[in-house]
Structure 1
């Protein structure tokens, strides 16, 4: 099965390195962490203390019938369980508090890292796996952190305390129990590697499940129209079956480890009973000591079982920590620029720009040269795959040119800080992205949430959106659903334009902003775009050639390069590629033409 691409080529950190890195998150909470360790130790000490009461209880209470035993043993039992209750509560509370802070902090770091990743990372990785890492992997890290730590410290102290007590009473017999530990260690080491591999596979399977689920929700209309319910159900069934099989394999491995450990302990216990009976027959062992030894050995069953069972939690947590830290160590979006521009004129220059996608057979942009004056409107037209969208993606540095350079007001884009560069760019695309929030919040997103109500209303008015907004229940405070599902395509587009208007950036990118609209919606949106384009350097990717006839210059692209440049009238007069495209779109719908050896279909325009 193919695993996710990110981090797989990096070297895997060892377990101690993972733990050291996890513990660095506790530095700010060391007092609470220390308190939790104290609570663990106190709670663990009550177990051997209780077992230690068995000897006087039997020897003095039942054998010697000492009345003093009636006065101090029952209160001691109550006191021990009171101390255990208080320390257990303190341990659970402090551990839960620390776990919550650890998960919150790591999850926030992962999300912040996700926001800083380059566009190419999202191109090459499943969105389901990315979401699974934030939601699933981070929560699993706690198994490597505090759940394992709690069991190791608390149950480890309990086992050591019981062993110390048993050695005190009869060291010869207690040595029998020492055969348990090396044998248990062998069992754990044999199972751990398999559990780690199964856990890594489970992380990938959870990502697959999230991917299928997310796509089925996002594309639910397509699924219904094309009758894809059975296909999606089969995909989901396969994903959940993989997870089920993996879970069974993990449980089987863990159960095998537990069963083997219990068998080894039972052999040690049987040997202890055998030698205790022999010594008892020779009056070398009192009844109280025998009961204390047997009770102490039996009391070690539960903590040793929990210690052996943490192997599954440990491997699950370490695999999750490995995944999370490998992601956090991925290189972020390059931002080596140091310069800032408080004010931008909007002069753009593409100088021998080339770009090739990773593993692509040919360049998407090839030796592209173009000078754009401040305030000029440039339209990009051409067949599908000619490089129009790729070219405008280079402006906000979603991708970096593989050759040549792009300048803004004479300054190389790579010299500018990313945040400062993007502050001067607004974008409206065919696929409008809106948030599951109010109308006002979506418009104000263009001003980073700092716009006044009056500014929001004015932006909506200029975008021709005010009329329909006022008809919505709640008006500007109406929640529009996920990605604006409660609005029409034209209404979503006008909200995107209002957002761009409010940002008031000097450079504007319009990526086929009206291609999917009906005629009435297109007229409203086109009118709004005219407001938006005033006094801005605008690059328009055109689908309908009628919308860009008034552009200052039209750039016809083919295979990543420039085929011809000019105004609408000039290009029509030249009878080149643009004239043929224009004729095909307006006079011969559905036809295909060949220009200079290039076959072009109307659907590609």
Structure 2
């Protein structure tokens, strides 16, 4: 993972600046407004000098009449430009976050399957939702504070130098101490922010799993365990936030103590200066007010370090994610809609960090338009072999060919366009029945096409009985449907796609006999004149296959038709006898 690779603040800001292209006019308005607001502070400090000298010392009522109006005008000016600055900054930061989230989601769509195996979904969600939002702090809130308050402090220092340079020099004594404390606090805050991202990811993960697994938690009495997991994650986030707040408060506290010491010394020294000519009551009041007005900007500038480091840590996380390697697509050829035979040529595959190969030298041909079934015990490599065809991952050695060409030479889009997948773990979306059946091609098909696919999948009868028919919302992952209904919606989706290559990954497992009968009939409709790879635990579902491939520990141990393999009395016959001895009711159904 890239998170550990630290990038400098300058590098991060350079990358963030790219997102401002097209918004430079708004940014310019924000900066000008910022500078005008910043300039009003030293101007107010300067106006106090004539106010005290002319009004209170010399009793010049003519000047006293316009000075209060000037002060009101100054604060109206400040208010107007402060609003413009805040609006522009909010506009820019929200666009930045939106652009970043869209780019991250685009990256998410292009990541290889292995990324999702190695990274918790909660952390990925936290990056897109939380980290992208925190970048607004690093991008704009911090810039606003540092630029606006920085200009204010520089302006006030300039005024102080103008009023009395000797007294002003005392303020410079505190700057090295402040700089050191800010640097130390910043390093700690950056470390804590990285830790906070991990803990937020864990908390999101627990929350996500608890929502998805609500029924299992209830049945198995896992409420206490999940509550304890969530409490542990939430406590970690709380502790981290307290540490961040205390580190930030320490930095601010040191700054304020040093500023108060400097102020005390200045007041003491000012008493001596007052005896000299040229340092009037107005000078002293203007000097003292300007000095005090510097406290708030300095406090905000040191206090903003927490936001800055949190934002920079978030930016580091986001850019680390955006720098992840995308799914390799070096293909240039287009696979047409009449692909030839699928061939596995000496295919070896090993998952990263696995102790042994998941596939060991597989050579197999799946003729065009034929049905090939893969059977064997769990973990023998059936699903791995099927997953190589749509290139969810590539073989470690050997080749997978379609129409005699290595599939790596085809573009991923054209390769996957010719395939449909129906798996045991049906994935449905929180959408209508029609939206799920026509997923990915809703704009290309008519309602009549959807109904035809639903009828072929034996799904139309239950769809008609639903409250709004095809327009019925089915809930998250189809929770409002039964297992058999969800399976038939997935088959209807594959039928509507009408792809020439079909992969069925245990599509009828975990169904009751009635649902299996309906699903099996739908699958037979689906398999007609398609090159089909069927992965099955229930051997009753693949007796009609053109070729049954028996796998064991990543190798093909035998293959042939159902009858041939039973006569041979090998591993398939053993699996068949074992399964039908355990489930006599199924053998009766198969025999019928």
Instruction: Normalising by structure 1, report the TM-score.
Output: 0.95
- Residue 423 of structure 1: which of 406, 411, 417 is its match? 417
Shift of 1:70: 2.6
Shift of 1:346: 3.8
The equivalent of 1:296 in structure 2 is 290
- Residue 128 of structure 2: which of 124, 130, 134 is its match? 134
1:17 counterpart = 2:11:
yes
The equivalent of 2:241 in structure 1 is 247
Give, in whole Å, the separation in 2 of the partners of 1:172 and 1:196.
38
Shift of 1:272: 1.2
Count of residue pairs brought into register by the alignment: 584
Task: Give the 5 Å matches for 1:70-149.
Answer: 70-149=64-143
Unaligned runs of 5+ in 1: 1-5, 591-605
Give, in whole Å, the separation in 1 of the partners of 2:162 and 2:426.
75
1:450 partner SS:
coil
Shift of 1:284: 4.3
The equivalent of 1:63 in structure 2 is 57
Give, in whole Å, the separation in 2 of the partners of 1:235 and 1:487.
30
The equivalent of 1:596 in structure 2 is none
The equivalent of 1:261 in structure 2 is 255
Give, in whole Å, the separation in 2 of the partners of 1:287 and 1:102.
50
1:175 counterpart = 2:169:
yes
* Alpha-carbon distance change, 67 to 147 in structure 1, aligned in 2, over 3 angstroms: same
Shift of 1:344: 2.4
- Residue 503 of structure 1: which of 490, 497, 500 is its match? 497
Give, in whole Å, the separation in 2 of the partners of 1:496 and 1:549.
23
The equivalent of 1:599 in structure 2 is none
The equivalent of 1:31 in structure 2 is 25
- Residue 586 of structure 1: which of 580, 587, 591 is its match? 580
- Residue 533 of structure 1: which of 518, 523, 527 is its match? 527
1:566 counterpart = 2:560:
yes
The equivalent of 2:587 in structure 1 is none
- Residue 396 of structure 1: which of 377, 382, 390 is its match? 390
Instruction: Normalising by structure 2, report the TM-score.
Output: 0.97
Give, in whole Å, the separation in 1 of the partners of 2:441 and 2:572.
38
Shift of 1:374: 0.6
* Alpha-carbon distance change, 408 to 170 in structure 1, aligned in 2, over 3 angstroms: same
The equivalent of 2:404 in structure 1 is 410
RMSD after superposition: 1.1
The equivalent of 2:476 in structure 1 is 482
1:343 partner SS:
coil
Give, in whole Å, the separation in 2 of the partners of 1:147 and 1:63.
43
* 1:261 and 1:305 in contact (8 A); partners too: yes
* 1:432 and 1:493 in contact (8 A); partners too: yes
The equivalent of 1:340 in structure 2 is 334
* 2:54 and 2:64 in contact (8 A); partners too: no
2:439 partner SS:
helix
The equivalent of 1:272 in structure 2 is 266
The equivalent of 1:164 in structure 2 is 158
* 2:435 and 2:442 in contact (8 A); partners too: no
- Residue 354 of structure 2: which of 352, 360, 366 is its match? 360
**1:429-475 Cα distance to aligned partner (Å, 9 max, x none):** 00000000111101110536432111111111111111101111111
**1:374-424 Cα distance to aligned partner (Å, 9 max, x none):** 100000000011000111111110011000000111111100111111001
**1:349-394 Cα distance to aligned partner (Å, 9 max, x none):** 0000010001111100110000111100000000011000111111
